[in-house]
A and B are shown apart, each in its own frame.
Chain A
Amino acid sequence: MAQTSTEAPALRLTDVSKSFGVVNALTKVSLEIRPREVVGLIGENGAGKSSLLKILSGNQTADSGTMELRGRPVTFSSISQAMSNGVAMVYQEQSLLPNVSVAENILLGNERGAVRDGFYRWKQMHRTAQRHLDEVKSGVSPSDITDTLPFAQRQMVEVAKALATGDGSPYDPVILLDEPTSVLESGDIETLFSVIRRVKEHASIVFVSHRLEEVLEICDRVYVMRDGEVVAEVDPAEADVDQLFRLMVGRDLTSGYFREDLSTEPTPDVRLAIESLTGPGFSDVSLGINRGEIVSILGVQDSGRENLGRVLFGALPAAHGSVRIDGERVGLRSTRDAVARGIGYLPSERKIDGAIMGMSVADNMTLAHPDVVSTLGVMRSRRVREVADEWIRRLAIKTSGPAAEMVNLSGGNQQKVVLAKWMLAPDLRVLILDTPTRGLDVGAKSEVYAILHGLAAKGVSIILLADSLEEGIYVSHRVITMADGKVTGEFTSRPGNRPSRTSLIERML
């Protein structure tokens, strides 16, 4: 058995099905995860990725089909059972206890020798934790209190915790990473990738992501899921983003994922002129953006790009510098000033800053520009409905209607409502978007790109704080890099003349 284990897949699923009532979440899914490889798992929301992860991690059990762990059939009836077999999941929303030490978190539920007679043996605990922290090259100390660490470091702790589940077993662990990069900045993603490459020397990794570029970069094999089935197994060396995207959405698109086909040339007149703007976390930024131009800004966390966006919208005070729109100076004293000057802003935290979940789709859409639907400050119900209906139709928002509460919409559709809030402005001139596609599935992302190209074609100038290098490169006309609060580079980006990843990363670090 021990001999064959090196050959046998770490995990093999055969004809696994799972349904909830009448909904088939998984239909006869067969796949294998081999030792020491990174397996990508992609699919649109609802394709079955989450159900599959839940079954692999012991959160749910399959209705039918078999699961084999290193050649022997198993069923995981609980998360702890999966963990004691060396299968551990790193959740998208982190699952660490905030107020205890890193070591306690790493060994939580898996203490083994680190607990005797119900008491922690701290030395042993710290030793074990340190070993796993070293494996992920984390500089964090086992005694650090978890919630004092930044997000990216906590995620490394989660990976270390997943590695620790392999301790009790003679085999290498299987680590399930559920969208690990969705809230990481570019620099942290590079770090995570180097950790994944290191860890896979003695572990199998399942990598779930909506970022197709990353999947191609890090995975050895990719399974594509659609409607509860595995529809393809792809070799990343022979695939590109468009191809993966087509497999996921299940139809042949004439246009690509980034919708470059909709891109139009900006007109040569300057719409937004930023001069020596200094604010919290950035300084001396000068930038001119033409009508109909999409400029993406790339930078790691604390590069200053988020605050630049907020200052331009009047949500944070500027220390000095000036901003002009169509030649006129903009005050930037409040968000209200900005809105009055035709600036729109889409915050990165959709659920906290973007959408008002308790209000209707129509109310959300008309919040920033009530004048469009009101007479003398009184809102006209019919007009509200008409306008909301119109935008639901134009942006193909999936909802039961204008009166539907925001909370009932999917993430992508919520984001479209927030976009509509600015698009229905009588005179939208500049739209600033802070990572508008973060957390959306690829179909919704592609739709957002289409909307941005459409707005640019209408003369709106767009500042896109891109969520990934590729998004920045392919959706915009120009890419700006920022690091430590300064602009460090400027690259023209046109079909056939795109900046390279490495040249951008160089300027971002």
Chain B
Amino acid sequence: MTELVEDVLTIIAEKGRVGRERLVPEARLMELNIASLDVIEIIFALEERFDIEIPFNANDAASGFNTVGDVIGAVERAVASPKAAPSATPSAA
């Protein structure tokens, strides 16, 4: 497990108040009883920890933030992408 994944799981476990052993990639956040406010707390903590912007809209199921693996993937993508202006959706004119 990479250091990044370790950090992500630590943050999910702490902010979502879930045991680390349950945080397998396919585990669904909803089934881990991580409420919507906890999800945005997790995203906030991840953005602070890695100095990244994670595009996420709580209204949009297509944001693809359903599983622990989705969260890890979003962080990996954000860390890999060059730091740009805030995560404005291009259509937000």
Asked if A and B bind, the verdict is no
Interface residues of A (CB under 8 A from B): none
B residues sitting closer than 8 Å to A (CB atoms) are none
